[in-house]
Amino acid sequence: MDDLPLYPLIEPYRAGMLPVDELHTLYWEECGNSEGEPVLFLHGGPGGGLSPRHRCFFDPAHYRIVLFDQRGAGKSTPLGEYRNNTTPLLVADIERLRIMLGIDKWLVFGGSWGSTLALAYGQAHPERCSGFVLRGIFLCTQEEIDWFLNGIRWFFPEVHHEFAAGVPADERGDLLQAYAKRLFCDDPEIYIPAARRWSRYEGRCLFLRPDPEAIADFSSDKISIGVGRLEAHYFVNKGFFSEDQLIRNMDRICHLPAVIVQGRYDVVCPPLSAFRLHAAWPGSVMKVIDDAGHSGYEPGIAEALVAATDKFRTDRGF
């Protein structure tokens, strides 16, 4: 990944821990230009957490880059905690962070689940958003959840077979409930192996060409506990949305500029959701990357994302 068209790796100029309730404390960081244009990075998952490379989609001379680990993810504590963890609470956390940092409005950047959360936040607080850069769109509809759990087998049959084999044969008719039963128990000897299987399932489907480094990352406890437990939690609860809520509420943000970047062969979040979002957002710009899957680190996707943040830096007219 060292040859990706990203800005160089940088270190935060400040970071901290933000308690948001009696259970959760969030890790946050800022990097780039402390006096620059604010941009908020929202990671995927739910539960995926931050990587140093997430800082590299933005020109550090121009942007004040704000990143944080969502509840139960990354350096936020407790890792993998699904209690007191809902989309409205994550939206409230973003507002708390914005107010703490003294930011009036920001460009909102998110991929995969990060695109879901970006839309939910924008629709709740449109006056705090200057625009959006979204990748690998996930609208958290029942059809998309069903696709993730079952439809992927049409493209990755061996990967799905291994995922299904993680539960007894008589429970495989409802993989979500079968995994939820194990992931939400209190015994780490049960929920950690289940989380590893869930996370590895996703990690093996991210790229157009398999990436061993990504598969290893998704198999690690740091990522798998957050991804396995929280994705199942949000899927069981349909993202805490009413059906097709994010499309139905597009009138709240459709006046704002947006760039949508989508891999043509994205098996995790298929392109139909991006096209539905683009159709509901007449002013949006859609970039379909013909030689890419889901990951933001596919070369064509990374190039398009950096081009989008650069264009927001210089020209909001698109």
The set of catalytic residues is 112, 266, 294
Q: Cα separations (Å) of 190 from 79, 163, 166, 217, 272?
A: 16, 15, 11, 20, 36
Question: Please, which residues have CB within 8 angstroms of residue 239's CB and are 6 or more apart in sequence?
Answer: 87, 116, 140
Structure tokens at 267: 């098996």
What's the N-to-C CA distance of the chain in angstroms?
29
Residue 120: CA count within 13 A, CB half-sphere:
27
Q: What is the dihedral of CA 214, 205, 123, 278, to 10 degrees?
A: 120
Q: Alpha-carbon distance 316 to 219, whole Å?
A: 40
CB 69 within 8 A of CB 76: yes
Give the DSSP H or E segment for 225.
helix 221-236
Nearest CA to 235 out of 108, 119, 123, 150 is that of 150
Tokens of 45: 């998952």
Instruction: Compute the distance between CA of residue 128 and CA of residue 198 in angstroms, rounded to an integer.
Output: 35
Q: Cα 43 to chain center, whole Å? A: 4
* Assigned token pair, 294: 């889901």
DSSP-derived pairing of the beta strands 285-289 and 258-263 = parallel
HSE (side-chain half, CA atoms, 13 Å) at 31: 20
